[in-house]
Amino acid sequence: MNARFHIAKLQAGETTQFRPHGNSMTPKIESGQLVTFSPVKDDLSDVAIGDIVLCKVKGRIIDAHLVTKKGTDGRFMISNNHGHDNGWTRTIYGKVIKIED
């Protein structure tokens, strides 16, 4: 995945597609499945617990992980589908709207 390319598209208000690899989101997303992301609102008001997002946590791009908590301060906890927390963030670029083979 060329993260800068996809992030730039989302920031420009466009949807984007790519195939994340790895097993951290199985069985919701299998390695190599085609995933479509749509941009999120600047104020993140359309991001909810259970959404799968493209974001940045602790300076690292996380390409398809779950929002598992919402803090009272506007941050979101990002986790994989196996219970591992990656950390809190306010930097969310897009969320999954479609998963295909």
Backbone phi, psi, residue 53, to 5°: -130, 160
Is residue 51 within 8 Å of 30, Cβ to Cβ? Answer: no
Domains of the chain, start order = 3-100 (2.10.109.10)
* Nearest alpha carbon to residue 78 among 44, 100, 52: 52
Q: Does pLDDT of 2 surpass 90?
A: no
Q: Measure the CA–CA gap between 86 and 76, rounded to whole angstroms.
A: 11
pLDDT in tens, 64-87: 999 999 999 999 999 999 999 999
pTM equals 0.95
pLDDT at site 32: 95
- CA 57 to CA 85: how far, in whole Å? 10
